[in-house]
Amino acid sequence: MDASAVKLPEMQKLLHKIMQTEAEVVFNQEITNEKKTLLISLMSLLNNYNDELGANLERAFKNNPRNNLRNALSIPLRNFFVSINEFNDYTSQLISRENKFPLTGSFYQQEMESTIEESFALWQKVVDRLDELLIYRIQGFERRKQFILIFVAVIFVAILYLFIGFYLSVMRTVNQLDMAAKQMTKGGAISINLDSKDELSMVVRSFNSVAIALQESEAKYRSIFENSVDGIFQTTVDGKYLSVNPALARIYGYESVEQMLAQIVDVKTQLYVERDRRQQFQSLMEANDTITNFESQVYKRDRTTIWISENVRSLRDENGKILYYEGTVEDISQRKIAEIALDKANKQILALNDLLKLENLRMSNELDVTRKLQQMILPKDKELALIKELDIAGFMEPANEVGGDYYDVLQQNGRIKIGIGDVTGHGLESGMLMIMVQTAVHTLLQSDENDPVRFLDVLNRTIYGNVQRMSSDKNLTLSLIDYEQGKLTLSGQHEELIVVRKNGKLERFDTIDLGFPIGLEEEISDFLSQKRIHLYSGDVVVLYTDGITEAENEERQLYGLERLCEVICQHVDGPAIAISQAVIADLRSHIGKQKIYDDITLLVLKQK
């Protein structure tokens, strides 16, 4: 439509130019070729504009949403086209007259003015319709603007509503999480319920899972902390307890944890017997961050003293400063008492050994004294007869004047301890080591050490210290049996244990995994174990040294474990002494006149 408004002025200019040219021709009553050419070109251009005007207006009619343009412009447009056609006919006649001009100037002037008037009439109509269209479009833009503003307002309100709802939901969830976290720190039950199934519910479910896991972990830790046999503690660097468990309060003689925390305010001055022991502890912690087996003598609540062993680690902040210590405490008083007693016995034995050396006794006399000591400390028949539940028979014969085999049967407070061992080599050192073992076993039994593994561990450390002090390379295999009401607890490494049941069934128990040679290494606790065996009436247990199974005849054939088991099975129905005599008799028959190179030791037990 706007293109039509532009075309009409252009057509008016062409009409005006054609009118001037034709006026000159009429006035001069002559038309030159130049004028013809000019008029033809102007008419052609006018016709083109006329066609474009018609096409533009037709498009405008079709695209008019209100359908009012055709009614308003069809008549002016038709009148304008008729005037243009008449004007064209007049001009064509003028060009074809060849200087014959019947038309007068007034007629020409009338046609030209009529065409110009029609063009202005059409242009005015087009401009009026353009104004209407512009106003309509502006009104449409205003309506669209209002619609967009309303739409944006609705969207904004919806977003604001969603944001506020989401914010309130988030804050409600955060508040619930905060309250649950505070409740969790106080040890209360924790559970958050959220009806939605969005990301917040996933966060809440994750929190609930973590909270449940933490509660279970805290419950396990609390159970360990409350029910541990060993004491557990946390202390500040300056020596104030932060927390202790009931076991530690009991070890130190307090009635409750609260009482201990209230009364011990300075570990350094109130706990350790040795004044600078806390300072030694802190120096080690500063250097190493961990301490194991830190042994100290401490005061109990009643000011009596006990021995403890501490395993502690330090906790530091990001700058490396120690925040507090935490660790465990074990009461080792019984072990320390046993060690002190063993040390005293060892000193006596070493003093005896030094005395023998200083007096420079003849070797034969030394050996004779030692042999007599060995024989003196072996269990006597009357001692064995006092053991009501077992029928026991023992036999030992050294290969030289002094042997390295050991066996003993001890009874203390209703408990029976049976031991058998074999020291490497023979002679004075082997005999002395055997006496040391016998003395150590007696001392430990007197100290009420009931655990077989700890019994062997303390015994080994004592013997190892003596062996090192003697600059000796001796060691021994040793098995110990704890007997009580038909139950055997076997520990330590030695030869196999033979059990023949009353019905003749043979059972053999290997001890290779129950211990380690005594006196060979200082620390053997990791190698120690135990095995339990039940005895019934008529069952026979046999302990022996390798002097029996490795005894050779003149053809250098070994006596062997199989032959030993066969003889025991043949005499299982007899008393212990009869079984022992049968084995020794069969062994001597095997050896014959061959020299005995190793000590022979046999111990037979029969359940009554």
Over residues 226-256, the pLDDT tens digits come to 778 889 999 998 889 999 999 999 999 999 9
Specify whether the CB–CB gap between 247 and 232 falls below 8 A.
Answer: yes
In CATH terms, the fold of domain 336-607 is Phosphatase 2c; domain 1 (3.60.40)
Locus of tokens 């050991």: 406
pTM for this structure?
A: 0.45
- What pLDDT, in 10s, does the model give residues 453-470? 888 888 888 888 888 888
Residue of higher predicted confidence among 444 and 114? 444
Comparing C-alpha atoms, which of 386, 391, 384, 353 is closest to residue 369?
Answer: 353
User: Rounded to an integer, what distance in angstroms lies between the CA atom of residue 373 and that of residue 383?
Assistant: 17
Distance CA 321, CA 286 (A): 10
pLDDT value at 368 more than 70? no
Average pLDDT over residues 197-209: 62
Cα–Cα distance for residue pair 564/506, rounded to 1 Å:
12
Q: Would you state the pLDDT for residue 337?
A: 86
Instruction: Indicate whether 392 pLDDT > 90.
Output: yes
**pLDDT greater than 80 at residue 274:** yes
**pLDDT (tens digit per residue) in 481-524:** 999 888 999 999 999 999 999 999 999 999 999 999 998 888 88
**Across the beta sheet with 540-544, what order do the strands follow?**
390-397, 600-607, 540-544, 497-500, 506-509
Among 15-24, 160-169, 286-295, 360-369, top mean pLDDT goes to 286-295
Q: Is the pLDDT of residue 222 over 70?
A: no
What number does CATH give the domain 228-331? 3.30.450.20
Across residues 84-101, what is the average pLDDT? 68
Asked if pLDDT for residue 479 goes beyond 80, the answer is yes
Indicate if the pLDDT at residue 556 is higher than 80. yes
Q: Which residue has the higher pLDDT, 6 or 565?
A: 565
pLDDT of residue 100: 53
Q: Which two tokens stand for residue 312?
A: 């502690």
Q: What percent of the chain has pLDDT over 90?
A: 27
The whole-number average pLDDT for the span 546-555 is 89
Cα within 13 Å of Cα(197), Cβ side: 0
Q: What is the mean pLDDT of residues 335-361?
A: 77
pLDDT computed for residue 7 by the predictor: 65
Beta strands 530-534; 540-544: pairing state: unpaired
Given pLDDT bands bounded at 50, 70 and 90, which one contains residue 352?
confident
pLDDT at 110: 65
When pLDDT is cut at 50, 70 and 90, the band that residue 560 belongs to is very high
Query: Taking a C-beta distance cutoff of 8 angstroms, is the pair 528, 457 a contact?
Result: yes
Which pLDDT score is estimated for 18?
A: 75
The region that residue 492 occupies, defined by phi over 0 for left and psi between -120 and 50 for alpha, beta otherwise, is: left
Q: Tell me the mean pLDDT in the region 77-98.
A: 71
Structural domain boundaries of the chain?
2-150, 228-331, 336-607
Interval 564-589 mean pLDDT: 93
Which residue stretches of 470-572 are H helix? 546-549, 561-570
Q: What is the CATH number of domain 2-150?
A: 1.20.1440
Residue 167 has pLDDT above 80, yes or no: no
Average pLDDT over residues 569-596: 91
Instruction: Give yes or no for a contact between 379 and 442, defined as CB atoms under 8 angstroms apart.
Output: no
